[in-house]
Amino acid sequence: MRVFGYGDGPHGGHAEITFEGVRVPLENLIATEGDGFAIAQARLGPGRVHHCMRLIGMAERALELMCRRAAARVAFGRPIAEHGVVADWIAEARVRIEQARLLVLKTAWLMDTVGNKEAHTEIQAIKIATPQMAEWVLDKSIQVHGAGGVSQDFPLAQLWTAARTLRLADGPDEVHRAALARREIRRYA
């Protein structure tokens, strides 16, 4: 399958599979019958941290490209890095990346020290915040690159696609926001 017109690269990507008339012999079950959902859920926390680490890397790459382009591209007689709005985007990008990085590090530390269940609030928080951060940084980097930012000449459009897609993977933002809000409200009910 292709997403926003892109494949998933050399790692095989995603596919649609239809199972018809499939039976699994008892000796081939991973756990007991009916445990599949629990097994799938158990991998989500570490998977979400992995996604967020990749998103931070994407945002770092986008910021690097934005800074290089802003320093090299001249408009109205000076590098666009000297234009206030671009400088603001660069500063804001660094702040947003570091905020997300710290929340992801805290989440990973909690998962290691108290377990995935106790880190659930933070896992949901990074799943909401990190893709949105990366999407924002990538958008500003694309803007600094002009039309080139959406072309194959730079990796930005493909990175933006990956970041935007991760706002849906393992549950959309809205589901995580609703669950996180319920958890917070329970503390005061």
Give the count of beta carbons closer than 10 Å to the beta carbon of residue 172: 13
Q: Is the pLDDT of residue 65 over 80?
A: yes
More confident residue, 143 or 22: 143
Alpha-helical runs (H) found in the chain: 36-42, 44-72, 84-113, 120-145, 156-165, 173-186
- Confidence label for 58 from pLDDT (cuts 50, 70 and 90): very high
* Top-ranked range on mean pLDDT: pick from 3-7, 22-26, 37-41: 22-26
- Confidence label for 67 from pLDDT (cuts 50, 70 and 90): very high
pLDDT tens track for 95-130: 999 999 999 999 999 999 999 999 999 999 999 999
Mean pLDDT of 134-146: 98
d(Cα 172, Cα 14) in Å, to the nearest integer? 18
- Confidence label for 9 from pLDDT (cuts 50, 70 and 90): low
What domains appear along the chain, each with residue ranges and CATH number? Answer: 43-186 (1.20.140.10)
- Confidence label for 12 from pLDDT (cuts 50, 70 and 90): low
Q: For residue 7, what are the contacts with CB-CB under 8 A and spacing of at least 6?
A: 13
- Which amino acid type is present at position 160? W
Mean pLDDT of 85-97: 98
d(Cα 130, Cα 123) in Å, to the nearest integer? 11
Distance of CA 119 to the CA centre of its chain: 18
Distance of CA 14 to the CA centre of its chain: 17
- Confidence label for 42 from pLDDT (cuts 50, 70 and 90): confident
DSSP state letters, 123-158: HHHHHHHHHHHHHHHHHHHHHHHGGGGGSTTSSHHH
Per-residue pLDDT at 93: 98
C-alpha dihedral (114, 117, 118, 122), degrees to nearest 10: 110
- Confidence label for 24 from pLDDT (cuts 50, 70 and 90): confident
Q: Which of 61-65, 125-129, 166-170 has the lowest mean pLDDT?
A: 166-170
